[in-house]
Amino acid sequence: MDLGLLRTFVTVHRAGSFTRAAALLGLSQPAVTSQIRTLERQLGRPLFLRQARGVTPTTVGDELAHRAAPHLDALAEITETGLNGRIAGRTLHLAGPPEILSLRALPALSPLVADGLALRTSLFTGPEETLDGLAAGRHDLVLSTARPRGGLLAATPLCDEEHVLVAAPHWASRAASDRLGTSCSGLDRLPVVDVHESLPFVTRYWSSVLESKPAASATVVVPDLRAVLECAASGAGLAVLPRYLCEEALASGRLVELLDPPVPPLRTYFLVVRAGALALTHVARAHEALLRAAVGW
């Protein structure tokens, strides 16, 4: 069986589209289509079901991809880096929420830069879109709060992120005078800062800790938790933030924790790669470095 045909097949399987696979391979779409048809004739079985948008692998296609992809990745690694496992000259394409990339992942990966690894990050467009990009080959490694389904992507739990409800001191004093225990009375009268109009962080916290929905709407919406922190510390309103992100502001008194629930809300991050990608030395070393660093997170 022609390894070139298998490489094209695995790329289509990962991309979910002949068009995207052609772009990744530097081929024309008709060339990709022709190669897949040739492989299907050789096997005597269909590998993909053609749909209006992209393709879906058949059972045979899934089985072939899961058997062939790790070996093709390993061969590609040997071809590109030799047998010494060096990462010099390799580029790791990383994706995930900008806050955890900036404050945790990139510092943990910086020692690999001294060994010759280049790092590239991508604009975060949401967990599902980022995982789609990983499957399509646009990323090598993803930090995600969504655990992927199926066998195409492999996920390893990385860390748990504790969320805290915070505000500037004067808002904390006002809320404290109006509430008792973990009641939301008083809190619902404070302005709210979040990353989206739907209040994803505040709503998740209210549901977990207060077993209710927030009554207030967003006063300030900014699509970056670091900006949420600065707005909250400047007095724009309450916010829900990861503890690691706001612990300095809490220690300095710029922010005050409004509630201290016995079981704080947690959000789990997963380290996600394409199945078989850990055969690539630069991906494996980055994966190992992040898991090792996350022990202290």
CATH architecture type of domain 3-82: Orthogonal Bundle (1.10)
pLDDT of residue 85: 54
C-beta neighbour count of 262 within 10 angstroms: 6
Copy the structure tokens of residue 15.
């991309």
Write down the CATH number for the domain with range 88-296.
Answer: 3.40.190.290
Q: pLDDT digit string (tens) for 39-91?
A: 999 999 999 998 877 899 999 999 998 888 888 877 776 665 554 556 777 89
Cα–Cα distance, 230 to 145 (Å, whole number): 23
Q: What is the DSSP letter of 259?
A: -
Copy the structure tokens of residue 234.
């400047």
* Residue 288 binned pLDDT confidence (cut-offs 50, 70, 90): very high
pLDDT of residue 233 exceeding 50, the answer is yes
Contact 132, 171 (CB under 8 A): no
135 closest CA partner among 10, 6, 295, 3: 10
Position 290, amino acid: L
pLDDT of residue 81: 55
pLDDT of residue 252: 98
pLDDT of residue 139 exceeding 90, the answer is yes
Q: Name the residue ranges covered by the structural domains of the chain.
A: 3-82, 88-296
- 156 Rama class: left (phi>0) / alpha (psi -120 to 50) / beta: beta
pLDDT of residue 67: 87
Q: pLDDT digit string (tens) for 263-273?
A: 999 999 999 99
Cα–Cα distance, 268 to 288 (Å, whole number): 18
Contact 18, 32 (CB under 8 A): yes
Range of 90-104, 122-136, 142-156 with top mean pLDDT:
90-104
pLDDT of residue 181 exceeding 50, the answer is no
Q: How far is CA 214 from CA 164, 204, 219, 264, in A?
A: 15, 9, 13, 17
Q: Are 3-82 and 88-296 the same fold in CATH? A: no
Q: Is 24 helix (H, G, I), strand (E, B) or coil?
A: helix
Q: pLDDT digit string (tens) for 108-138?
A: 999 999 889 999 998 888 899 999 889 888 8
Alpha helix (H) residue ranges in 165-224: 169-178, 200-205
Which element (helix H / strand E) includes 270? strand 266-274
pLDDT of residue 25: 80
pLDDT of residue 169 exceeding 80, the answer is yes
Contact 116, 88 (CB under 8 A): yes
pLDDT of residue 3: 86
Model confidence, pTM:
0.73
